[in-house]
Amino acid sequence: MSDQHSSHRKDTTAAAPLRRPAMRFLAAFLLLVLSGIGVAAALHMALARKGLLPPPPLAATWCIDEKFAFLRETRLEEVTLFAIGSSATWRNLDMPLLERRLPGTRALNAAPCYLHIDQTAFMAGFLLERMPRVDTVLAVVAPRDFEACPLSQRAFFDPHLGGAYLNGAVPGWLPYVTGFRPMYLAREAIEQENLPPGPDDVALDGHGSSILRKPHFWRPAPAFDPACYEGLAALEEAASSRGARLVVATLPVMPEWGERFDRNGSLVESWTREMRAALRQPETLLLDGRGLAWGNQRFADPVHLLYPYHRPFTDFIASALARQTGS
């Protein structure tokens, strides 16, 4: 018995030095984690005090995250017409004009920027679950919306976190924690401090649109991914499955861009024809912006109209909608 007791004491004594490094490692690890949390909290508070804290990084792209923050404060259940798409939709529509031209309409521009048409379909399906009264889904498109539609990039945000955020089921700070990106936050804060958009740069309509006031020198070369036409069909399906019609409006062709990339018009003609072939629902409208033969002075760049020329473009869309509904 004495020998067994002595052996047990020796084993315990021998194990003690082995536990000390493990405990020190655990303590150092916990200290590192707590320090990281402290630094992150300090960074957020510092940026918030200066008014430079970007919106919660659901997609880690400022215009998308900014639109989510806007939608969180919007009564989505009251919307009857909502626009969705890339900046071709975000920057080219006058939503109050649509409400005036179409009595009883509650219009919202939910479009962020940088989306391709398959991503537009993904976001439309996500938002339509929260908009029971929507009867019209509107997308303004340019060739750039169809340049790349890889399946791996279609779901560009987490719909579970995004849904909880929009519904107010989680606090506004949670996406900062789950998607912690200190370099992104710092970079966006620096850009916001150096180049804050002002009233001379954009015009806001209070319904989610943001219209450019100054010309840009961006002239994107056309490129088309055949998979994007499947994305357009998915957008139509997202609308029709909720009992809504889809309206797709193409932008007028900027003459300078057409002269450079599509002199005989065959490229835009082929693109338009492919879109028509992808759309199957009888109530879907495809509005051809080539009917508006506008000069370069109306364009900020090939994808965006200059203020106030978004208004006659929106009126062009509203007239087509009014004719279809007989209002």
Q: Which residue has the higher pLDDT, 177 or 141?
A: 141
pLDDT confidence band for 27 (50 / 70 / 90): low
How far apart (Å, rounded) are the C-alpha atoms in residues 17 and 64?
54
DSSP classification of residue 241: T
Q: Helix 62-72 crosses helix 159-167 at what angle (to 10 degrees)?
A: 40
Q: DSSP 3-state assignment of 92?
A: coil
Q: To which H or E segment does residue 288 belong?
A: none
Phi and psi based region of residue 168 (left: phi greater than 0; alpha: psi -120 to 50; beta: remaining) = left
Closest CA to 43 of 190, 158, 169, 171: 190
CA–CA dist 115, 92 (Å, integer): 15
**pLDDT band at residue 22 under the 50/70/90 scheme:** low
What pLDDT, on a 0 to 100 scale, did the predictor assign at position 167?
94
268 or 29: whose pLDDT is higher?
268
Q: Are 92 and 140 in contact (CB under 8 A)?
A: yes
CA distance 201 to 211: 8
Residue 301 or 10, more confident: 301
| pLDDT beyond 80 at 138 | yes
Whether the per-residue pLDDT at 324 is higher than 90: the answer is no
Alpha-carbon distance of 26 to 204, in angstroms, equals: 52
- Dihedral of the CA atoms 94, 97, 101, 104 (nearest 10)? 100
Handedness of CA 254, 256, 262, 263 (dihedral sign): positive
201 — pLDDT class (breaks 50, 70, 90)? confident
In degrees, rounded to 5, the angle at the alpha carbon of residue 74 between the alpha carbons of residues 73 and 80 is 170
Give the pLDDT score at 320.
97
**What tokens were used for 113?**
């920027």
Mean pLDDT of 278-298: 97
- Least confident range of 60-74, 103-117, 199-213, 270-284: 199-213
| pLDDT number for residue 293 | 92
